[in-house]
Amino acid sequence: MTVQFVGASHGAGTTSSTSTTVTLPADIPAGALGLIWVGHSSGTVTPPAGWVSSSIPASNPATAGSLLGELFAKTTLGPSDSGTTVTFTCSGAHRHSSLCGVYSEVSSLALAVALPESASDATHSLAADTAPAGGCVQVGVVLERSSAPSTSYTPPSGFTARTSTFGSGSGAVAGQLADKLDVVGAGGGIGGGDFVGTVSNLNAASWLVALVPVAAAPNADAGPDQFLHSWQPGQLDGSASTGDEHYLWSQTSGPVVALSSATAAEPTFTCPVGPATLVFQLQVTNEVGVSDTDSVTVYVAAPGEAAEPAPAYNRRIWQQLAGVWGWR
């Protein structure tokens, strides 16, 4: 499975407000993850019930001069939350804005890297990092205190802009939320690039977030047992496995044979001289590292003997004898 984008929205306060309110997207499925960034100038933000300040990174909230930005998450959104409003209150009357993104098929918020900056620039860098788990997708956010709120942003290369917020008046908070839903393997590069606004501003911060997908449990299927002749080419078949991302074959019993590839779905080999019994184990692993195993047995007949199960072999011999002797 891969992480799915559900919807995005934003909220903006006035130049002197004690709260910011954002309306959640429509059609939220059960178990969706909600992410809301709140940008403000000072004070302490109190979230509504169920929304918690992310402990990743430890620097949450991020501080850049007179900008405070904080990430809040809720992991239990569902259909009843669709279209409802969420209000964050502040300890004092200040300038606020908020950005909201909702995603489904998420198992965890695995990484959130904040990058504050206090240089006057229209370009705001997104941190570069490595994916903490397989199947990750990326969410990027920028928030900034604006002398004249930007009329537009260009997201980092490869990211899709989802929503933008523009506060009112000088010093209000503006920003954008974008994502990149291309799946990245564990240890792969994520982030990097820049949010580019139309106004050069001080006091900005960006966030790089990695979301790990809910993974379908893998089911290893090493295929049916096989009955082969001595020296006969053989082939294992794990293609009926499901939820798999990586194959790994190993031989656990019998005279050792060389597989054409231990990581292919259908590796080949050459049978030894029989009689011999070969047992192979297949391990399949999904994109987040969950594995399942199955085994298959290959029976190798001695030279000149039938390569078939003993009951079938015995039945064929008796049928042949019956034909010779005229039995019915």
Q: Which run of H or of E encompasses 147?
A: none
DSSP 3-state percent helix, strand, coil across the chain (nearest 5): 5, 55, 40
Q: Indicate the CATH number of 226-325 among 3.40.50.300, 3.90.1150.10, 3.20.20.70, 2.60.40.10.
A: 2.60.40.10
Kindly tell me if the per-residue pLDDT of 82 is higher than 50. Answer: yes
Q: Which single residue is written with the structure tokens 């590839």?
A: 261
Q: Where in the sequence of the chain do the CATH 2.60.40.10 domains occur?
A: 226-325
The sign one gets for the Cα dihedral 253, 257, 261, 265 is negative
Phi, psi (degrees; rounded to nearest 5) at 316: -65, -40
Structure tokens at 150: 């930007």
Q: Which run of H or of E encompasses 320?
A: helix 310-325
- Give CA separation, 179 vs 18, 143, 157, 248, 325, in Å: 29, 15, 10, 33, 79
Closest CA to 248 of 227, 237, 267, 262: 262
Check residues 170 and 276 and name the one with the higher pLDDT: 276
Q: 291-300 and 226-228: which strand pairing?
A: parallel
84-125 residue pLDDT tens: 999 998 887 677 889 999 999 998 888 888 888 877 788 999
User: Whole-model pTM above 0.85?
Assistant: no
Structure tokens at 247: 């194959």
Coil, helix or strand at residue 304:
coil
Kindly tell me if the per-residue pLDDT of 141 is higher than 90. Answer: yes
User: 105 CB contacts (<8 Å, ≥6 apart)?
Assistant: 1, 2, 3, 4, 213, 214
31-74 residue pLDDT tens: 999 999 998 887 788 899 999 988 676 667 788 877 888 999 99
215-259 residue pLDDT tens: 767 889 999 999 999 999 999 999 999 876 789 999 999 999 999
Kindly tell me if the per-residue pLDDT of 15 is higher than 70. Answer: no
Separation of CA 170 from chain center: 39
- pLDDT averaged over every residue in the chain: 86
Q: Out of 67-71, 105-109, 163-167, 322-326, which region has the weakest mean confidence (pLDDT)?
A: 322-326
Structure tokens at 48: 């509504």
Angle, CA of 63, 64 and 70, to the nearest 5°:
40
Kindly tell me if the per-residue pLDDT of 176 is higher than 90. Answer: yes
User: Whole-angstrom Cα distance, residue 190 to residue 275?
Assistant: 53
